[in-house]
C-alpha cells in the first residue's frame, strides 16, 4: 500500500469516526455516567465490533449480505431492534434521589457487559457493512496481496476510532459536575436513550442501494 493511499484512508476514516452515530452516542452516554476510564471497556467492544464488520466485508460476506434482500433485512432488523432496546433501557433507567453521578457509578455494569454492549452496537450495524463494502475496495490494490492491505486498514481504523470515541467520552465526562442530581441523570438518560432509539429507528430505512450511492 502506497503512502498517499493510506493518508487518504486516514482522512476518510477520521471523518467517518467523528460523524455522530450510535458509537459516539454510546461513548458519550457511558462517559457521562461512568467516566472515561470505565468507558474504555465499552469503547474496546465498539472497536472489536468494527473490526468484525471490516473482516466480514473483507471476506466478501458483506457483498453477499448486500446482494441478498433477506440476509440484509435480517442484519438490518437485528441491529435496529438492538439499538432501540438499548435506548429504551436507558430511557427507563432510574436514578437514585440525591446521588446523581455517584449513583450511576455505583450501579456500574460489569466489564463484560460494557464490552458486549459496545461490541453488539457496532457488530449489528448494517450501515457499517455498507460503508466497508462500498469504501474498502477503493483503497485496496489488486496488484498486491489483499490480506496485508486489509490488516493495515483495520489497524488504522481501530486506532482512529479508539481515539475519537475516547474523545467523545472525555468530552461527556467533563460535564459530570452538571449531572449530580437525580433529575439531571434522568434527563441524561432520556436524551441519550432517545438518540439511540432514533438511530435504531433510522436503520429500518437503510437500503441496500446505499452501498452503491
Residues 19, 61: Cα–Cα separation, whole Å: 25
Residues 160, 154: Cα–Cα separation, whole Å: 10
Length of the chain as a residue count: 213
Residues 64, 68: Cα–Cα separation, whole Å: 6
Q: What is the pTM of this model?
A: 0.70
Residues 5, 153: Cα–Cα separation, whole Å: 10
CA distances from 130 to 14, 29, 72 (A): 17, 26, 10
Q: Find, among 99, 77, 98, 101, the residue nearest to 172 by Cα.
A: 101
Residues 164, 149: Cα–Cα separation, whole Å: 23
Residue with cell 471523518: 15
Residues 189, 95: Cα–Cα separation, whole Å: 9
How confident is the chain (213 residues) per 10-residue block, as mean pLDDT? 84 79 86 88 94 82 68 75 77 58 62 92 79 71 79 91 93 73 67 77 68 39
Q: What is the DSSP string of 108-144?
A: PPPHHHHHHHHHHHHHT-HHHHHHHHHHGGGG--TTS
CA–centroid distance for 80 within its chain: 13
Amino acid at each position: 500500500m502506497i503512502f498517499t493511499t493510506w493518508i487518504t484512508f486516514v482522512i476518510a476514516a477520521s471523518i467517518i469516526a467523528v460523524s455522530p452515530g450510535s458509537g459516539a452516542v454510546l461513548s458519550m452516554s457511558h462517559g457521562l455516567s461512568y467516566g472515561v476510564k470505565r468507558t474504555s471497556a465499552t469503547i474496546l467492544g465498539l472497536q472489536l465490533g468494527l473490526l468484525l464488520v471490516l473482516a466480514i466485508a473483507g471476506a466478501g460476506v458483506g457483498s453477499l449480505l448486500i446482494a441478498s434482500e433477506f440476509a440484509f433485512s435480517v442484519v438490518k432488523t437485528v441491529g435496529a431492534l438492538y439499538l432501540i432496546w438499548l435506548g429504551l433501557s436507558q430511557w427507563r433507567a432510574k436514578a437514585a434521589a440525591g446521588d446523581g453521578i455517584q449513583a450511576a457509578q455505583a450501579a456500574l455494569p460489569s466489564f463484560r457487559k460494557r464490552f458486549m454492549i459496545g461490541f453488539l452496537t457496532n457488530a449489528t450495524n448494517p450501515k457499517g457493512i455498507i460503508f466497508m463494502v462500498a469504501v474498502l475496495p477503493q483503497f485496496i490494490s489488486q496488484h498486491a496481496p489483499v490480506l496485508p492491505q486489509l490488516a493495515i486498514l483495520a489497524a488504522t481504523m481501530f486506532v482512529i476510532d479508539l481515539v475519537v470515541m475516547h474523545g467523545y467520552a472525555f468530552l461527556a465526562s467533563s460535564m459530570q459536575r452538571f449531572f449530580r442530581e437525580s433529575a439531571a441523570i434522568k434527563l441524561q438518560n432520556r436524551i441519550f436513550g432517545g438518540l439511540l432509539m432514533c438511530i435504531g429507528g433510522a436503520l429500518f430505512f437503510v437500503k441496500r442501494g446505499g452501498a452503491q450511492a
